[in-house]
Amino acid sequence: MRLIAFVPLVALLALVGVSVFLLTREGERERFTEGMVGQPAPAYALARLDGGEPLTGDARRGRAYVVNLFASWCTPCRAEHPQLMALRRQGVDIVGIAYKDRPGAAAAFLNELGDPFTDVALDPEGRFGLELGITGVPETFVIGPDGVIRAAYRGPLTEEVVRDTILPALN
């Protein structure tokens, strides 16, 4: 009868062990990101934050650009924001996708921190993010003039990532 008292503890330890294993499989996430490179970007027609015609990938065919998925509730998105602003100052065409966010909250986020995006679209249910295979925000993709993903980066952008991954993929 005393063994039954330990069942919840054993279950908790098993759950913690599985969680630690899943959270430390960085290599799995990196392989998936690398697998996106070289693949055509999914077609999209997303509502714009400011209204108007839907935002489509076809409208950017023939030029390289960056797609950044962000959310107002995302703390790492705030941390990477200066890097996006710096890219914009360099003339990089950046499409922002407000992932699983409310339009008002996304607009307030951009009003507070500055808007580095050429266009901002909404992905309220996260469907476009799923098509890209994201695991969370922020995630950034470089799309080539041919519509093929040239680079993908999971997590907040840093100066090193911009210099070593994003800018080379744009050129």
CATH code at position 140? 3.40.30.10
Mean pLDDT along residues 44-58: 95
Instruction: Tell me how far apart the alpha carbons of residues 50 and 110 are, in angstroms, rounded to a whole number.
Output: 12
58 — pLDDT class (breaks 50, 70, 90): very high
Instruction: Tell me how far apart the alpha carbons of residues 71 and 95 are, in angstroms, rounded to a whole number.
Output: 13
| Token pair of 46 as six digits | 């997303």
Write down the pLDDT at residue 36: 85
Residue 164 included in any domain:
yes
Radius of gyration of the chain (CA): 19
Residue 32 included in any domain:
no
Write the DSSP symbol of residue 67: E
Instruction: Tell me how far apart the alpha carbons of residues 70 and 108 are, in angstroms, rounded to a whole number.
Output: 13
Sheet holding 139-143, edge to edge: 119-123, 94-99, 65-70, 139-143, 149-154
Q: Per-residue pLDDT tens for 32-50?
A: 455 689 999 999 999 999 9
Q: Are strands 94-99 and 65-70 parallel, antiparallel or unpaired?
A: parallel
Residue 15 included in any domain:
no
Task: Give me the number of domains the chain comprises.
Answer: 1
Residue 24 included in any domain:
no
Residue 80 included in any domain:
yes
Instruction: Tell me how far apart the alpha carbons of residues 108 and 104 are, in angstroms, rounded to a whole number.
Output: 6
Q: Per-residue pLDDT tens for 88-146?
A: 999 999 999 999 999 999 999 999 999 999 999 999 999 999 999 999 999 999 999 99
Residue 150 included in any domain:
yes
Nearest partner of 158 among 80, 67, 78, judged by Cα = 80
The amino acid that residue 79 corresponds to is A
Give the start-end residues of each E strand in 12-100: 45-46, 55-56, 65-70, 94-99
Residue 5 included in any domain:
no
Nearest partner of 45 among 148, 127, 166, judged by Cα = 127
Instruction: Tell me how far apart the alpha carbons of residues 116 and 81 are, in angstroms, rounded to a whole number.
Output: 8
Residue 10 included in any domain:
no
Mean pLDDT of the chain: 88
Range of the domain at 94: 37-170
